[in-house]
Amino acid sequence: MAQHNEIGKQGEEEAARFLQSEGYELLARNFRHQHAEIDLIVKRGQLLVFVEVKTRTNLSFGNPEEFVSYAKAKLVMKAAEQYIFAHNWLFDVRFDIVAVSISGSVLRVKHVEDAFF
């Protein structure tokens, strides 16, 4: 597996661990619908949260959360719509970003709530 894939997988693991420590229940990883993928789907009470995880080892060009494009956000929302429909979810939803930065042995996790419009 390519190094960037390993780093991304490590970031998703850290994000899932962080969210669970904050009281979220992990429902799905890497949910796919057509060309879209949602990294993590979690819930807390009656709130369903769709999470895009961005991991970076070099912050020279910006923070990880800055790399979620408008096009990516639209794809995540389209996949979320399918998930909501398939699971008959009738309560609140939110779209978050979990930014993971790894520099040597230092790992930082930043949770950005309500990140998409």
Q: Global pTM?
A: 0.92
CA-based torsion, 52, 47, 77, 86: positive or negative:
positive
Sorted by sequence, the CB contacts under 8 Å of residue 80 that are 6+ apart come out as 38, 50, 93, 95
Q: Does position 1 have pLDDT exceeding 60, yes or no? A: no
Q: Kindly report the CATH class assigned to 3-112.
A: alpha beta
Residue 9 burial by Cβ neighbours in a 10 Å radius (0-12, 13-18, 19+):
middle
Q: How far apart are CA 91 and CA 4, in angstroms?
A: 36
Reference 113, options 89, 96, 93; nearest CA is 96
Q: What are 49-95's pLDDT values in tens digits? A: 999 999 988 777 888 898 899 999 999 999 999 999 999 999 999 99
Q: How far apart are CA 112 and CA 63, in angstroms?
A: 12
